[in-house]
Structure 1
Amino acid sequence: MAPQRFHEQFEHIQRSMPDVPLAMGPEEDAHFLYERGVVLARDGEEARAVEDAVRAHFTATEGLVPDHVRRDGPDTNRTGVTRIRTGAPGAGDDTVPHALRALRQAEDRRGRRLVSRNHVVHIAVNACPGDEPVPVARTQPANPAAAQGGYDADSAVGVLVIDTGLVHDHRSYPPLAHTTGDAQQAETDADGVLRQYVGHGTFIAGILAAVAPDTAITVRGTLNDAGAILESEFGARLFEAVDQGGWPDIISLSAGTPTESGDGLIGLDAFMRELREQRTLLVAAAGNNASDTPFWPAAYAALPEYADSVLSVGALRADGESEACFSNHGPWVRVYAPGERLTSALTGFDTPMPYVYQHSTYDACRFGFDYPCTCQFPRHTGALSEGRESTGAKPDQVMFDGLAQWSGTSFATPVVAGLVAAHMTAQGERDPRVARARLLAATADSAEVRGARVPAFRPPTWRPVPVIAPAVPA
């Protein structure tokens, strides 16, 4: 992945978590963020073993203070995870590498991974941005357009969207008239300018409602805080979301993270185990790093025990022929769907609202693709862009008054969630996992991804967008 936008987003996320010392993964991949000075372990005997192993290592290591090794919070909780601090709070030196080296020996003895970093889970256009939204005239139809059929409270498929919340005027967009959930916090800054990623959850709900009109959509603002949350907190927030309304038919999740080890998230162990015992289908975004590195929790789809309960989604480019330049890929990605230049509801239906771009476009695709992708068009200069101050370039500002065009696996995900829901409605199927299996088995559609043909879901109301580069101002 080209690291520039990742570095720009790091500062943005750090400002949203001022009391959490964050760090980036290794420079050569720049894929994940984590809480510095903390490791995660499973509750109970394993957490105590981790604490003892780290303390013993620090005692034997010159310059490290064993008294700074301690567990934060209760020893047992529903998420089954314990934070273990491995250094003085706020200390500049990151002692986690020492802890991890000490624990590798303990893991080798037990034959099980005992510990991980406390990763930052983020919406899939946040720390790995596909692009930023582009205003669309209200006269231009949504894409995908609204499918035929209406909403029936008695038959509607229940879909829970875990994301940022709903903008205040979302009901002004007819497909979202029946959508409920949490309000988006702090839509604008002190100057009345839209904050970054406001409208992300609303945009997703709009796509879902268009593809599957007979859905009872609930949007939870689990990721309202700059679209990011610590792994140690995410499991508890997921439990809160399902506890509010019960386990739904489908969860649409456009968030995740790669991990240092390449394995799953210890912080989600308990939630994933409980999900497996329900009938709920988790539809999860594959991420926008243009990488084959697993992005969790989408990558649970490749584990046999979760094969029927998790569906991972990559993004197709605007013409639908192959993958979008930003889309993650690999055998752990089960299906691809349109995810570039989709059109849905954003915000500003009541009053037009300004937005200042945060990232600049590139002269060429940052991932090395040769089609006119969203890396390059439409051209704009962003406020966070590295080197902008030296050129004196001002960030570009636009106005939103309802609809927007946006790209990312974030938005391919509700396309697939909507198609599963629409299949349930059309076939009278009440089990979303059965619907998932039948859709995958029945699809004859495919797309080319990295030289291979892979399953692709394309909604009947989706229109390909020609990938012709607009003229670049002289």
Structure 2
Amino acid sequence: MAPQRFHEQFDQIQRAMPEVPLAMGPDDSAEFMYEKGVVLVRDGEEARFVEDTVRAHFTAAPDLDQDQIRRAGPETNRSGVTRIRVGDPGEGHRGADRAVAQALRSVREHEARAGHRMVARNHVVHIAVNACPGDEPVPVPLSEPPNPAAADTPYDPETAVGVLVIDTGLTHDYRSCALLAHTDGDAQLKECDDQGVLHQYVGHGTFIAGLVAAVAPSTDITVRGSLNDAGAVLESEFGEKLFEAVDAGGWPDVLSLSAGTSNGRTDGLLGVENFMRELRGQRTLLVAAAGNNGSATPFWPAAYADLPGWEDSVLSVGALRSDGEFGACFTNHGPWVKVYAPGERLTSVLTGFESPVPYVYQHSTYEACRYGFTYGCTCRHPRHFGVLSDENASAKPDQVMFEGYAQWSGTSFATPVAAGLVAAHMTAHKETDPRAARRQLLAAGAGFAEVRGAQVPALRPPTWRPVPVMRLAPGL
């Protein structure tokens, strides 16, 4: 059976969040995930107005009971959103949610008059699915150096740039790698299953920290495990987790975020509105992954880089393929993606330094690139069979052993490369303003690459080694 990655990952995340019934959207498609039976609104008077409007709309619908329209706590939080339950989450199937769709329609006219959105789905923000990463990790021998290799820059505790990574937590043996000597933060909650097999996406945050440290050795890196739960969190909780992460150690110079979601809109995520407003007033630069849907549809929070008022505070990052000349097949693209960096088959820190750790592949590779490319992309190379891709379990999934390093692909990893280059520029030029460093770096150091026929700004670390791409005939 051909892989159906979105559906496979939907099942994985639903198992990790069993108390939250999920649906796919927008209606009758599979572009994002959201909580069934619930919508988000801003706290306060707007929430009360929306609730009254939705209640009146549903009164005229014979198949919905008014009692279904009730608040679903927590009612308020720092992110400034309220969840309102508009239907029974047990009704219907995962392909659509009529109650949520009706609630969105009920306020459309009022939104037009108000000039802003008043209600939204409660999306799942994630590193998984087609968001990030773009494939599953591949073991790399310890004898093979990281790629990008560690830059020859001494660590200076007096001027080290502060980088905050919001992701999954650090693997237990990360300190066995000298590259992460100046990294600290949250531990990964549960690395392996009862059989000692590595869980999917464990090591994602560790891998990212290794890339930042390689590109910019004079950094103090903190990893917050805000996405430890299968790399996914509801939008209603995401803003709060972002606030908690920066509150724990103060606003950093650079915030590296390799997670997000599309939502079918061009005006951002309701659940992070308050955080993004506060970010704008800080000096922190948010470097965010553009996502791996092979699409021009905005992916949030990265796409804030294209909204008025956030041009300086957000840098959205797409992925170059392994030769650095073109975009990777999976990368999102479009005018809202402001820069591209190497993001295919990078080598960094994972786990297994103290003792080898087994991993069983979850997804099979494809017979042909799912985005129509003809080079040896991560869609189909290296070949492996995954446990989730065959309903009949007619083939045994492939298993590998990790012994420290891994090769991995995604805009998840192009993002810390770009974040590291901003930090390295700050160190080299004694620049204390990360947003100024971003402007200077793109003005003076950016080359170009081709993405979907367009010439785009590209950042390539001096220690990164390009790898020539393989040309494969379709189906090979």
TM-score of the superposition, structure 1-length normalised? 0.96
Q: Deviation at 1:110?
A: 2.1
SS at match of 2:124: strand
Q: Which one of the candidate residues 367, 370, 384 is aligned to 2:388?
A: 384
Aligned partners of 1:3, 1:83: CA distance in 2, in Å?
A: 34
Maintained 8 Å contact 1:147/1:211: yes
Q: Which one of the candidate residues 311, 332, 356 is aligned to 1:307?
A: 311
Q: Which residue of 2 aligns with 1:20?
A: 20
Q: Which residue of 1 aligns with 2:199?
A: 195
CA-atom RMSD, angstroms? 1.9
* Pairing of 1:27-426 with structure 2 (within 5 A): 30-73=30-73, 75-88=75-88, 90-92=90-92, 94-123=98-127, 129-387=133-391, 389=393, 392-426=394-428
What CA deviation, in whole Å up to 9, does each residue of 1:414-435 have, x standing for no partner? 0000000000000100100000
Q: Deviation at 1:381?
A: 0.2
What CA deviation, in whole Å up to 9, does each residue of 1:354-373 have, x standing for no partner? 00000011111111001110
What CA deviation, in whole Å up to 9, does each residue of 1:160-191 have, x standing for no partner? 00000000000111110120000001100000
Unmatched 5+ stretches in structure 1: none
Q: Deviation at 1:101?
A: 1.5
SS at match of 2:107: helix
Letter in 2 for 1:12: Q
Q: Deviation at 1:74?
A: 5.4
Percent identity (aligned): 72
Aligned partners of 1:326, 1:127: CA distance in 2, in Å?
A: 9
Q: Deviation at 1:88?
A: 3.3
What CA deviation, in whole Å up to 9, does each residue of 1:9-29 have, x standing for no partner? 000000000010101114775
Aligned partners of 1:470, 1:324: CA distance in 2, in Å?
A: 15
Maintained 8 Å contact 1:159/1:249: yes
What CA deviation, in whole Å up to 9, does each residue of 1:20-66 have, x standing for no partner? 01011147752200001000011111111110000111112212111
Letter in 1 for 2:412: S
Q: Which residue of 2 aligns with 1:4?
A: 4
Letter in 2 for 1:230: L
Q: Against the structure 1 CA distance between its residues 76 and 340, is the aligned structure 2 distance closer, same or farther, given a 3 Å change threshold?
A: same
What CA deviation, in whole Å up to 9, does each residue of 1:315-369 have, x standing for no partner? 0000001000000000000000000000000001001000000001111111100
Aligned partners of 1:29, 1:369: CA distance in 2, in Å?
A: 23
Letter in 1 for 2:462: P
TM-score of the superposition, structure 2-length normalised? 0.96
SS at match of 1:255: coil
SS at match of 1:51: helix
Aligned partners of 2:278, 2:300: CA distance in 1, in Å?
A: 17
Q: Which one of the candidate residues 451, 459, 462 is aligned to 2:461?
A: 459
Q: How many residue pairs get matched? A: 471
What CA deviation, in whole Å up to 9, does each residue of 1:72-96 have, x standing for no partner? 2355431110001002354447411
Q: Deviation at 1:388?
A: 5.2
Maintained 8 Å contact 2:131/2:293: no
Aligned partners of 1:318, 1:54: CA distance in 2, in Å?
A: 50
Runs of 4 or more above 6 Å deviation: none
Aligned partners of 1:343, 1:149: CA distance in 2, in Å?
A: 19
